[in-house]
Structure 1
Amino acid sequence: MAIRNKLYFASDFHLGTGTYPSSREREDRLVRWLDMIKADAAEVFLMGDVFDFWFEYKTVVPKGYIRFLGKLAELNDAGIKLWFFKGNHDMWMFDYFEQELGATIISNELEIERNGKKFYLHHGDGLGPGDTFYKFLKGIFRSKLCQWLFARIHPNLGVGVANYWSRHSRKVNLSKEDNKPGEQEWLVDFCNQLLQTHFYDYLIFGHRHLPLDIKLNDKSRYINLGEWVTACSYAVFDGETVQLLYFEK
């Protein structure tokens, strides 16, 4: 039996986007990936935009994703630690995944140390300079008042409106994806600023849909996890180093 000692990181599955068959195909691929990593994973970090939209009413959650959630429950039952990060598409997570999957929900950044290596983890939205309008909207959407008001809307209407907004938001973001890729990434700028006052071996993000592994200095690396609509990329820490890999590419 393999020793469970690896950390796995993945982001931007956007389950629910596209046609139902395409979303189901993505879900089945994710289940196969979770099946593969189950043998040696100690912790799994799902770093935002797992769903294209998510809102937990008091007694209702969005339907679907049964196979994916069931596989996560299997990992939790096997003793594998699960972490869920709120992304810009699924920021309205409350306690459902904590209760059902034993997961820890992360609203912003998470700093951890494993085997002597320091990690800075964040979905990646709202960081760095610019994007003032989104940062303003994020503050509104995460407010208790906004969440309370949305919960008053019947799910048939609320989820429909939210899905429309989610599709619009994704199109806008995709139109910006060619915006200074690579070493001029705004998240690279953010990391370099952060490293002036703090040290991390690895700074790992999602959000940008660009699988990237960039050396920031002699000891620190910026890693973007990419996405699962086309690239199916993820990262793994084996106790010594982090690798950016692809599943069934």
Structure 2
Amino acid sequence: MLPSPCYIFSDAHLGVARPERERELLAFLRSLRGAAGSLVVNGDLFDFWFEWRSVMPRRAFRVLAALADLRDDGVPVLWMAGNHDCWGGDILREDVGVEFHVGPWEGTLAGWHTRIEHGDGLRPREDRGYRAIRPVLRHPLSVWAFRLLHPDFASRLAHGSSHGSRALGPGDGGVGLRRIAFDTLARDPSLELVVFGHSHARMLDRAEGGGVYANPGAWLDEPTYLRVDEQEIAVLRWNGSAEGDRLHALDRRAEEALRHR
């Protein structure tokens, strides 16, 4: 269970993001101390993340420290593995203290029955090539072999392939993931909220059956995020405060609110 209010952001791609984006993200994370009930990092926080046994990417230090501070304050932090930062391990889980989760997560988020995925590889036709190579990239033997490379060389190699991955992103304005979210809500009437990232397309939309699809967009492009409490889901833009500028919001429908009393 992720307590209310839950803040959600995605796709910061630190390492290639402009310096001001990283400064804004640090300020945002620090503002959540005392304000957030929980936090979800929905993938691709870093443009490249990998853990050697005693080495980690240098650019990660300040952001990971801010996440560790939230955990020290007792704020649950769920980090969903993205396609750029799926190789998380002991540093994230033990030293930072986050719940690093690979694959879909389903549970109660701020009172909503929710399914969260980063969103990579979900489109049936467009993502076939990526789905074919993903098991190879994440196989333990591939991870073991990559760990044998010197971190400087390995990081340069990975950042080169990451650039290609971003250039070949979804490219459909988020329509494909919206369709998958609505299909997911239709198949499981108990679901109230589906959250994706990955598409870099900010969305907040209600399906025909009443369930909601939410995507915070990419922090890399614009510092936007979601705030979810028991009554509403809001898309906010960072303005120096965790309350942010409200861009769009959806209330929980009256009949749904009654069901949860």
TM-score (norm 1): 0.89
Does the 8 Å contact 1:129/1:186 carry over to 2?
A: no
How far residue 116 of structure 1 moved from its aligned partner, in angstroms, is 4.1
Residue by residue, what CA displacement relative to the aligned partner does 1:207-246 show, whole Å, maximum 9, x if unpaired? Answer: 0001111111242111111011222111011222211111
Are the equivalent residues in 1 in contact too, given 2:121–2:131 (CA < 8 A)?
yes
- Aligned equivalents of 2:208 and 2:29: distance in 1? 33
**CA displacement 1:20-49 (0-9 Å, x = unmatched):** xx2x32221111111222222111100100
Q: Name the % identity.
A: 30
| Residue of structure 1 in register with 2:229 after alignment | 238
- Do the aligned residues in 2 keep the contact of 1:28 with 1:67 (CA within 8 Å)? no
Q: Deviations over 1:154-199 (max 9, x none)?
A: 11211110011111111121xx52x2x36xx111221232233313
Q: Does 1:164 align with 2:150?
A: no
Q: Distance in 2 between matches of 1:12 and 1:116?
A: 25
Count of residue pairs brought into register by the alignment: 236
Question: Does the residue aligned with 1:29 lie in a helix, a strand or coil?
Answer: helix
Query: Which residue is equivalent to 1:189?
Result: 179
Relative to structure 2, which stretch is displaced further, 70-79 or 110-119?
Answer: 110-119
Match 2:77 to one of 79, 82, 101: 82
Query: Hey, what's the Cα distance between the residues in 2 that align with 1:190 and 1:107?
Result: 19
Gaps of 5+ in 2: 240-244, 246-261
Q: Which stretch shifts more, 156-165 or 67-76?
A: 67-76
Taking the aligned partners of 2:10 and 2:74, their CA distance within structure 1 comes to 21
Is 1:140–2:130 an aligned residue pair?
Answer: no
Find runs of 4+ consecutive structure 1 residues off by over 6 angstroms: none
SS of the aligned residue for 1:196 comes to: helix
Contact 2:48–2:85 (CA under 8 A) maintained in structure 1: yes
SS at match of 1:217: coil
Deviations 1:61-106 (A, max 9, x none): 1112332222111111111011111101111111211111211111
Aligned-partner residue type, residue 132 of structure 2? F
List gaps (5 residues or longer) in structure 1: none
1:148, distance to aligned residue in structure 2 (A): 1.0
